Each structure stands twice: as C-alpha cells, then as structure tokens.
C-alpha cells in the first residue's frame, strides 16, 4: 500500500505505474482516492473546528448560568446540541470515507523498481544468468511420477480417493528424500546465519490482507469455515505477520528468518500436461526465508536471498537460471522479483522452483511494522521473501538431473548425511 501523501503529490507517477503493469482498469482508482482523501481531510478540519467551537460555547454556558442568565444558557445549549449532531454525522461519514479510501489504496499496485523490465506477462520475463551446465543424457527420462513409481514412491490414486485431485502420498525412499531435502535446506540456511522458525500454519484475515493483494487472496487462500482463520499458502505469510503492529529498535535489524511449513493453495485455473503429477498441487512443504530490514538495505538483501537459492540447488547438482520478472508478472505489492528456474533434462527447458521478492514497505505499511531509530524517528521497515526449496516440485528437478541410465538415482554428497549415508536410490526389483 502506498503512502497517501505520495499519491496526493505524485498522481501521474501512480497512473504511469498502473499502465506499466497493464492494469488500466485500475486507473480510475487514482482519481477516486484523491477525491476521498480531499473529503477526508475536509471532514477532519470541520470536526476540529466544531470541537473548538463546542468547547468555547460550553464554557460560556457555565458563565451564563453563574450570571443567572438561564434563558441565554438554554439557547446556547441548543447550539452545542446542534454541534454535537453535526459532529456525529461527520464522524459516521469519516468512517465510511476512510474505509473506502483504505480499500482503494490497498488495490492500487506498489511502485515498481525502475530496473524492472516492462512486459505484459511471464512470457516477457528476462533471463539474467545461468549456473551450471544443462545436460540432456543419451537415454530417455520418464515423466517424474513414472520415475517415482519405479521406487514405489508415490500413490496419487489413493490420495485422489482420500482428498481428491491435487494431493499425493509419497512413500519409502521418495518420502525420505523429500524430508531429507527439507532438513538439508533448514541446515543450509542456518549455516548462512538465518534463525530457524516453525510458524503458525493458520493466520487471521488482517494478516492475510496485510501480506498480499485481494486478487492473490482469492486465488490462493483456503478459508476455515466459521472462523477468522486461513490456511497459509506459504510460511512467508505468518512469518511477516509475526511483526504485525510492532515498533522494532533499529539496532536489532535486520531480522533474518528461515521457516518450515506445509503450504495450502487453491491453484485456480486449468493447467497443462506438464503440471500433472506433483508440479502444481494443493498441499506441499516448503523451506522459506524472510528478511525485515532498513529500507536502504533491502536491495542488498534481495541479491543475497536469490543467491542463497542458487547456491542451494547447485550443491545438489541441479543447473539453474535466474529470470527478472517483468512489470506485468509482478504481484501488486512487489517492487522487484526474480524467479529461480531449474533445468529439466526431460523437457529440455527450465521451470520455476522458487521466487525472490522485495516488497519495499508495502507489507510493513499494511501490517504496521515500524522501526524506531536511535533519535526516536519512526519509519516503515522493508520486507523481503524467497523460496529456499519447495518439494515435492523440487523433486522433479532432483530426480531428472540425478537419474542414471539403469533407472537408479544418485544422491549428491551434500544430501547423503540426511539419507543415512545412502549414495543411490535403487529401482525396486519387481519393477
């Protein structure tokens, strides 16, 4: 959410930013916000004047009564009553105006960083850099669920009977591999100086609207019926929510946290054949990283966060690339975002396995996350988040890049301690 003073003083910049994000339908919101803001300030001014007049006249009533001028005092009381009635009307209108103003302000997108490429959708994202040599082996690589089935590692049919489409059972070595990757990711991030955290897996509506736009909320979140609670779509939601309505001493920043959680997503919309299996599902697990920092430090942390993900994947022998998200692919609260994509030898292309975002002060402004400097000045923090790893999707990249010609899967050295020293996953003999 933008600062209303910024919108008031820079409406053309706000309008151009909306155009750059190809959201022209939101352009009328700028004029509406300016109109509501003007009315809101006029209401406050009138209320202040009425309050001053009422206080002054109320003092006169006492003087008139003391002087025995009862009739004049009664007439003056009528004026006070009229002031009170008008103030009550204004207060009611003020509440309506502020609610409408806040709703519109929360719908106007954040100002994107000047470095963000202008583009309509993810097809216009820009490749930045590649890490590791993408290899296509001289043997066929099956679809990821077929690889897992060779190890008796997945049962989607049973999951469909139990929970419906978009769910899975992971079994045996594949289930252990899944858990090992999460555990390794935890220790990897602790080694980089982040504090490990397991957060609440449900959050209240005021946290939901604080961390994401209304459109994202509708597309992603599962509501708990009869309660003001939502299942989290990523631990970033509750991790940023941890700081709601707080004033944080500047000397304690930055807060650098890495968190584990299950994630629950509606995943609305039709998906292609490559999103069968465990690519796009309603439930998965994830290791996340978040940073709450001073505004001037957020660009530096942005680069550190995405580099962590690249380094993590490279320790598991998975080639990756980074893509700069274009303006039309940025969620409304984001200032800048970069996707990390892993190489798929089967598809002979990269696919998304993580996303790093700098949200500026948008989440902090919505949630009331402030910083207090040594001189007592208060300002909004900046927040950032990034995926460390999100299996089981990451398992697709892992299995394809570590598959051997005989159908076995090698375990990279970094992961072997988490697999009980196992160096390879062998195909079940009856397969």
Residues tagged active-site: 265, 280, 352, 355, 393
Q: Which residue has the tokens 């009229």?
A: 82
Q: Which of 313, 253, 262 is nearest to 283 (CA)?
A: 262
CB atoms under 10 Å from CB of 3, counted, come to: 13
Beta bridge mates, 340:
322, 354
Q: Does residue 240 contact residue 363 with C-beta atoms inside 8 Å?
A: yes
Residue 378's Cβ-side half-sphere holds a number of Cα atoms within 13 Å equal to: 9
- Backbone angle region of 205, left / alpha / beta, with phi > 0 → left and psi within -120 to 50 → alpha: alpha
Q: Which residue has the tokens 């939601």?
A: 237
In terms of DSSP H, where are the helices of 221-338?
A: 235-241, 298-314
3-class SS at 163? Answer: helix
Q: Whole-angstrom Cα distance, residue 69 to residue 230?
A: 63
Beta bridge mates, 339:
323, 355
Q: Does residue 393 contact residue 286 with C-beta atoms inside 8 Å?
A: no
């Amino acid at each position: 959410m933008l600062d209303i003073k910024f919108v008031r003083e820079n409406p053309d910049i706000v309008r151009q930013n909306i155009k750059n994000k190809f959201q022209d339908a939101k352009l009328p919101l700028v004029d509406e916000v300016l109109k509501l803001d003007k009315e809101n300030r006029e209401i406050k001014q009138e209320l202040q004047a009425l309050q001053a007049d009422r206080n002054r006249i109320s003092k006169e009533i006492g003087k008139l009564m003391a002087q025995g001028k009862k009739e004049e005092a009664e007439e003056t009381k009528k004026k006070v009553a009229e002031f009170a009635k008008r103030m009550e009307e204004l207060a009611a209108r003020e509440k309506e105006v502020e609610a409408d103003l806040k709703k519109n302000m929360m719908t106007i997108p954040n100002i994107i960083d000047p470095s963000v490429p202008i583009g309509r959708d993810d097809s216009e994202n820009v490749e930045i850099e590649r890490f590791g040599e993408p290899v296509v082996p001289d043997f066929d690589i099956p679809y990821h669920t077929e690889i897992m089935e060779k190890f008796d590692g997945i049962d989607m049919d049973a999951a469909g009977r139990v929970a419906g489409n978009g769910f899975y059972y992971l079994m045996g070595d594949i289930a252990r591999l899944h858990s090992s990757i999460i555990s390794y990711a935890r220790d990897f991030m602790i080694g980089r100086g982040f504090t490990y955290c397991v957060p609440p897996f449900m959050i209240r509506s005021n946290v939901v609207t604080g961390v994401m736009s209304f459109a994202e909320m509708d597309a992603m979140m599962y509501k708990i019926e009869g309660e003001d609670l939502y299942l989290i779509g990523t631990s970033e939601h509750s991790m940023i929510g941890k700081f709601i309505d707080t004033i944080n001493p500047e000397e304690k920043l930055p807060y650098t946290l890495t968190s584990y959680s299950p994630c629950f997503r509606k995943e609305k919309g039709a998906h292609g054949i490559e999103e069968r299996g465990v690519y796009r599902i309603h439930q998965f697990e994830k290791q996340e990283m978040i940073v709450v920092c001073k505004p001037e430090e957020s660009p530096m942390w942005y680069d550190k966060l995405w580099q962590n993900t690249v380094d993590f994947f490279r320790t598991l022998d998975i080639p990756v690339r980074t893509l700069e998200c274009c303006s039309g692919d940025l969620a409304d609260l984001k200032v800048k975002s970069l996707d990390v994509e892993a190489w798929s030898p089967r598809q002979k292309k990269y696919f998304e396995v993580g996303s790093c975002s700098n949200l500026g002060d948008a989440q902090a402004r919505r949630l009331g996350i402030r910083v207090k400097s040594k001189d007592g000045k208060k300002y909004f923090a900046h927040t950032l988040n990034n995926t460390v790893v999100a299996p089981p999707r990451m398992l697709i990249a892992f299995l394809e890049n570590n598959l051997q010609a005989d159908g076995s899967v090698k375990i990279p050295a970094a992961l072997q301690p988490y697999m009980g020293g196992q160096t390879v996953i062998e195909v079940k003999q009856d397969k």
